[in-house]
C-alpha cells in the first residue's frame, strides 16, 4: 500500500500507540535502498508512480496544519513517526525536517515522542546520525546477521555491508531501539528461528546493547508470497536468552486490523 499524504493518520500502531505518520517519500511511489520481502509498500519495482520527494517546507506546513487541527479536536498523539513509503533518511532534507518537527512538537504536541523507523543503512553519514540522535526513538532495523542472509530477506541495494551498519550503530552507545521482523519463507530460504539467523542476530544485540529491542512479525499483505509469521509465544521463546540477560524486549504479534507502516 502506497501512502499518498505526506502527513497521515493518526493511526494505531502496535508498537507506538496513537501515531501521526510522516512520509518523506513520493506521494505515488516508494523509494528504498532495501526491497524487503515483507514490505507492506510492495516491491520497489511496483512503486514507481513518481519520484518527487516532499520538501522540508511542505512537511513543515502539513505537520503544522495537522497538529493544530488535532489540538483543536482534543486528539492526543503519542508519537510523530517517520515511516511511510520507503527509507526516510533518503530524503536529502531529513536533518532540517527533524529540526522542524521537533520544534513543532514542542509547541503544538509537547507530550508526543518523535520516532524514526529506519533500515539503518545511512547512520554512517554524520548529518543523518546527528539528526537521529535528536529524536526520542531512533528505531533501526536489523533482521539478519550476515550479508548473505540480509540479501535474502531485505534485498539491499549494492554496497550494503552489515559490518558497517553494526559499526555505525555503535555510535548510539546503546541509546537507540533495534527493530527486527521475524518470519519464515521456504522460497527465500529464510527462517528467523534457525541458529544461522538467531545466534548471529543475538550476538549483534549483545554487541550493540540497544536500550530496547522491538521484535515483531508480518502483519499485512506482503509482496512475496508464502511468508509465515511467528506467534508472540514463539518469538518470546526465541529471544528468551536475551530477556534472561536483562535486555528490554518488546514482542508484538500480528493484530487485526494492521495499522502501522513497516
Of 77 and 153, the one with the shorter C-beta distance to ligand SF4 is 153
Among 78, 87, 100, 219, binds ligand SF4 (CB under 6 A): 87
Nearest of 161, 98, 166, 109 to residue 133 by alpha carbon: 98
Residue 78 makes contact with ligand SF4 by CB under 6 A: no
Among 6, 21, 34, 94, binds ligand SF4 (CB under 6 A): 34
Give the cell for residue 145. 546477521
Q: Which residues pair with 17 in a beta bridge?
A: 13
Q: What does the alpha-carbon distance between residue 128 and residue 30 come to, in Å, rounded to a whole number?
A: 20
Of 80 and 109, the one with the shorter C-beta distance to ligand SF4 is 80
H/E segment holding residue 225: none
- Binding segment (CB under 6 A) for ligand SF4, from list 1-9, 28-36, 94-102, 225-233: 28-36
Q: How far is the CB of 84 from ligand SF4 (least distance, A)?
A: 8
Contact at 8 Å (CB) between 80 and 62?
no
Residue whose entry in the numeric block shows the C-alpha cell 548471529: 200
- Binding segment (CB under 6 A) for ligand SF4, from list 35-43, 92-100, 127-135, 248-256: 35-43
Of 2 and 70, the one with the shorter C-beta distance to ligand SF4 is 2
Per DSSP (E only), the strands in 83-206 are 113-118, 137-141, 177-182, 184-185, 190-191
Residue 2 makes contact with ligand SF4 by CB under 6 A: no
Under rule CB under 6 A, which residues in 151-180 are in contact with ligand SF4?
none
Q: What does the alpha-carbon distance between residue 93 and residue 52 come to, in Å, rounded to a whole number?
A: 13
Quick one: 73 exposed, middle or buried, by C-beta within 10 A (0-12, 13-18, 19+)? exposed
Q: How far is the CB of 111 from ligand SF4 (least distance, A)?
A: 27
Nearest of 106, 94, 162 to residue 133 by alpha carbon: 94
Under rule CB under 6 A, which residues in 199-228 are in contact with ligand SF4?
none
Residue 100 makes contact with ligand SF4 by CB under 6 A: no
Residue whose entry in the numeric block shows the C-alpha cell 501515531: 19
Residue 119 makes contact with ligand SF4 by CB under 6 A: yes
Residue 262 makes contact with ligand SF4 by CB under 6 A: yes
Where does this chain bind ligand SF4 (CB under 6 A)? 32, 34-36, 39, 41, 86-87, 119, 262
Amino acid at each position: 500500500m502506497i501512502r499518498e499524504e505526506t502527513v497521515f493518520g493518526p493511526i494505531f500502531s502496535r508498537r507506538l500507540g496513537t501515531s501521526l505518520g510522516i512520509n518523506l517519500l513520493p506521494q505515488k511511489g516508494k523509494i528504498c535502498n532495501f526491497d524487503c520481502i515483507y514490505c507492506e509498500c510492495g516491491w520497489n519495482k511496483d512503486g514507481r508512480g513518481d519520484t518527487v520527494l516532499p520538501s522540508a517546507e511542505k512537511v513543515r506546513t502539513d505537520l503544522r496544519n495537522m497538529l493544530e487541527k488535532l489540538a483543536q479536536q482534543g486528539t492526543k498523539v503519542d508519537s510523530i513517526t517517520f515511516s511511510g513509503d520507503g527509507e526516510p533518511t533518503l530524503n536529502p532534507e531529513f536533518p532540517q525536517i527533524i529540526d522542524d518537527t521537533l520544534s513543532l512538537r514542542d509547541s503544538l504536541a509537547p507530550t508526543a515522542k518523535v520516532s524514526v523507523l529506519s533500515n539503518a543503512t545511512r547512520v554512517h553519514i554524520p548529518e543523518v546520525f546527528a539528526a537521529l540522535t535528536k529524536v526520542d526513538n531512533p528505531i533501526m532495523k536489523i533482521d539478519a546477521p550476515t550479508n548473505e542472509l540480509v540479501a535474502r530477506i531485505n534485498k539491499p541495494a549494492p554496497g550494503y555491508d552489515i559490518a558497517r551498519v553494526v559499526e555505525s550503530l555503535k555510535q548510539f552507545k546503546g541509546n537507540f531501539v533495534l527493530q527486527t521482523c521475524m518470519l519464515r519463507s521456504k522460497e527465500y530460504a529464510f527462517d528467523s528461528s534457525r541458529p544461522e539467523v538467531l545466534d548471529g542476530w543475538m550476538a549483534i544485540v549483545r554487541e550493540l546493547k540497544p536500550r530496547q529491542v522491538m521484535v515483531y512479525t508480518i502483519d499485512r499483505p506482503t509482496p512475496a508470497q508464502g511468508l509465515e509469521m511467528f506467534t508472540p509465544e514463539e518469538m518470546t521463546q526465541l529471544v528468551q536468552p536475551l530477556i534472561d540477560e536483562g535486555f528490554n524486549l518488546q514482542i508484538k504479534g500480528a493484530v487485526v486490523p494492521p495499522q502501522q507502516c513497516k
